[in-house]
Structure 1
Amino acid sequence: MRLVLHSSLEMHASEIYTKEMFKWFQKKLMKSTCYIVNSVKNNGTYMSKLYLVEKATLPENCRRKYRVTVFMYEKIECSCKKFEHSGMICKHIIRYLDKKQKIKIPESLIMGRWTMNGKKIMGPLPYAPPGIGNYGASQPLRYGALCKSFQDLAASGSCSISRYKYLMGVIDREKRYLKDAFADEEHRERTHEAKIQEDYQHDPIFDPPTSKTKGRKKTKRYKSGIETTTSKIKIKPRKCNYCGAIGGEHDARNCPLREEHDRRNF
């Protein structure tokens, strides 16, 4: 794995963590360089030591102080509770370890599920096969179980021509046997289904109840954007200023009354 800072903590993380978790560790390691660590004296107990971690790139009045508590036997806790939530150490603890020049990450801060040999340490995950349903009471369950069995049988029978011919012969023979042996049962099922359909035929089917929608009732079709813009432009009908005709095909220049009047005067 490619190292960024080439520190002892980063080298140790590359040896224990998986590829994805090591990338996550590198991001937290780069962010931890912006933090400073200050020890708190007289914290009230001799069993633990308290450190305040804050971001140095922010103004002093805007800095949030995280409490890193170091107990005996290298047990470390942070007030951000990142390790308790995700199982990976936070940037505040990484900054504390870097200040104390720790070569390795403490064992108490390493979760086995994020390590490369996590499967060897934790062992295989407990697996319980899904419970088998009551095939005698449910037709879909019976159908699914038969499909699964026939899929395995088809995979084995399609390997050669001899297997295929033998399996098709067995299927044809069993189909005839089922039809003859369970003829009465099949007749009862068909009679029962026909009776159910007959009962439903006598029940009238009406349209579902309609609900009144909000808003004004739409009486016209919806127009497109081009139609709405062009419909607002109203073209005035043509008007002749000489005879006063509206909507005609002439105006004052070619009015027939004016032409007739001019001929008479001429």
Structure 2
Amino acid sequence: MTTTSRSESMNLFFDEYVKASTGLKEFIENSQKALDSQYLREVQADFDTEYKEMRLFSNSSMEIHASKIYTKEMFKRFQKEFQKSQSFVVKSMKGCGDYLSKMYLVEKSTLPEINRRNFFLKVSIDGSYSCTCKKFEHSGMICRHMIRYLNKKQKTMIPPDLVTMRWTINGNKVAGPLPCTPRMLGNVVESQTARYSGLCKAFQGLSVIGSCSVPRYNYLMSVIKRENEYVIKSFPGEEREKKINEDYESDEEDDPLLDPPRSQTKGRPKAGRFKRGIETSSSNKQFRKCSFCGAREEGHDRRNCPSRLLGKKGKN
């Protein structure tokens, strides 16, 4: 993984917890939350790897070997490389190597010869491999060109030199778990959130152990139920809502309830000031003009104009 990709992944990891407007105190608290979240994801990934079955796409011995050594997520990446390796061919390059190594040409057979991109694989006598794609050096995952070469040589297992320890099932056992300790103030955790987080982490590991068999599950459920009743009776604690209500002191004189400030709403602003109903119903209102006699009166128009009606009666 290059330096640029590492910085981008680190920025994506902290974008959920840290913003440009975050203060120093909030930054430290959110950083602790990010580490706690990462710790829980690591525990969940270890549980999925150890107790969930890997889905195989073929009966290849190399894929079966990869399912036993890689974690669940890295095994999915291996399967993608394994599937794409089937479309490549390996050709020996005579005269290009030396007495300590051999060179091989790896190209994609499904493309026309003009559009093919050539990759060169170097195999040393001591068992080391090197490919010009540099995928193994960047990510630690074996590339499709190496997989194709191993299939051609009818290898049933991935060489140990091509397996990165951090992507294996036993990687955390060898390197140690992710260090994560709750913030302590003397012998007491300082906040309820930190206490809750610490208990969740402790019970997360206990749940992994207890879910292995039915007797373990039944025993732990009985212990949790018994200890739950003991803690409630022996250590009575106040509810958070009660404590908040006790700390709150109301003023003797109630403050007057004022109207909220008027905010600008969507749409085109009205021209002029807002008129009340009394103003809109005043006598200064302009009525429609009668197209027959030209008068402006309320309820007067061409249909009920007296002059027009009298004219019709005179004709009759």
| TM-score, normalising length: structure 2 | 0.47
- Written as runs of structure 1 = structure 2, the 5 A alignment for 1:129-140 is none
Question: Is residue 2:155 matched to residue 1:111?
Answer: no
| SS of equivalent to 1:3 | coil
Question: Is residue 2:86 matched to residue 1:39?
Answer: no
Question: Is residue 2:153 matched to residue 1:100?
Answer: yes
Alignment partner for residue 308 of structure 2, among 258, 261, 265? 258
Q: What amino acid sits opposite 1:105 in the alignment? A: I
The residue that corresponds to 2:283 in the other structure is none
Question: Is residue 2:299 matched to residue 1:249?
Answer: yes
* Cα distance in 2, alignment partners of residues 13 and 105 from structure 1: 7
Q: 1:153-181: per-residue Cα shift (whole Å, max 9, x none)?
A: xxxxx8597x769xxxxxxxxxxxxxxxx
Question: Is residue 2:77 matched to residue 1:24?
Answer: yes
- Written as runs of structure 1 = structure 2, the 5 A alignment for 1:54-133 is 54-119=107-172, 122=174, 124=176
| SS of equivalent to 1:74 | coil
Q: 1:85-114: per-residue Cα shift (whole Å, max 9, x none)?
A: 221201111011111212221121112222
Measured after TM superposition, the shift of residue 51 of structure 1 is 1.8
**Structure exhibiting the larger radius of gyration computed from Cα positions:** 1
Identity of aligned residues (%): 47
The residue that corresponds to 2:59 in the other structure is 6
* Cα distance in 2, alignment partners of residues 10 and 118 from structure 1: 19
| SS of equivalent to 1:43 | strand
Quick one: structure 1 residues 56 and 164, their matched pair in 2 at CA, closer, same or farther if it must change by over 3 Å? Answer: closer
Quick one: structure 1 residues 67 and 247, their matched pair in 2 at CA, closer, same or farther if it must change by over 3 Å? Answer: farther
Which ranges in structure 1 are unaligned for 5 or more consecutive residues? 133-140, 153-157, 166-219, 228-236
- Written as runs of structure 1 = structure 2, the 5 A alignment for 1:145-156 is 145=186, 147-148=188-189
Quick one: structure 1 residues 257 and 146, their matched pair in 2 at CA, closer, same or farther if it must change by over 3 Å? Answer: farther
Measured after TM superposition, the shift of residue 29 of structure 1 is 1.0
CA RMSD of aligned residues (A): 4.0
| SS of equivalent to 1:9 | helix
Quick one: structure 1 residues 64 and 263, their matched pair in 2 at CA, closer, same or farther if it must change by over 3 Å? Answer: same
Quick one: structure 1 residues 259 and 40, their matched pair in 2 at CA, closer, same or farther if it must change by over 3 Å? Answer: same
The residue that corresponds to 2:101 in the other structure is 48
| SS of equivalent to 2:291 | coil
Q: 1:130-160: per-residue Cα shift (whole Å, max 9, x none)?
A: 9x9xxxxxxxx9xx447538999xxxxx859
| TM-score, normalising length: structure 1 | 0.54
Q: What amino acid sits opposite 1:249 in the alignment? A: G
* Cα distance in 2, alignment partners of residues 99 and 24 from structure 1: 21
Q: 1:23-71: per-residue Cα shift (whole Å, max 9, x none)?
A: 3322221121122222222225333222222222223322222221112
Measured after TM superposition, the shift of residue 248 of structure 1 is 5.8
Quick check: 2:97–2:103 contact (8 Å CA) kept in 1?
no
* Cα distance in 2, alignment partners of residues 247 and 72 from structure 1: 111
* Cα distance in 2, alignment partners of residues 160 and 14 from structure 1: 46
Which ranges in structure 2 are unaligned for 5 or more consecutive residues? 1-53, 196-229, 237-263, 271-286
| SS of equivalent to 2:92 | strand
Quick check: 2:65–2:158 contact (8 Å CA) kept in 1?
yes
* Cα distance in 1, alignment partners of residues 186 and 91 from structure 2: 66
Corresponding pairs, count = 184
Measured after TM superposition, the shift of residue 119 of structure 1 is 4.8
Measured after TM superposition, the shift of residue 126 of structure 1 is 9.1
Quick one: structure 1 residues 27 and 17, their matched pair in 2 at CA, closer, same or farther if it must change by over 3 Å? Answer: same
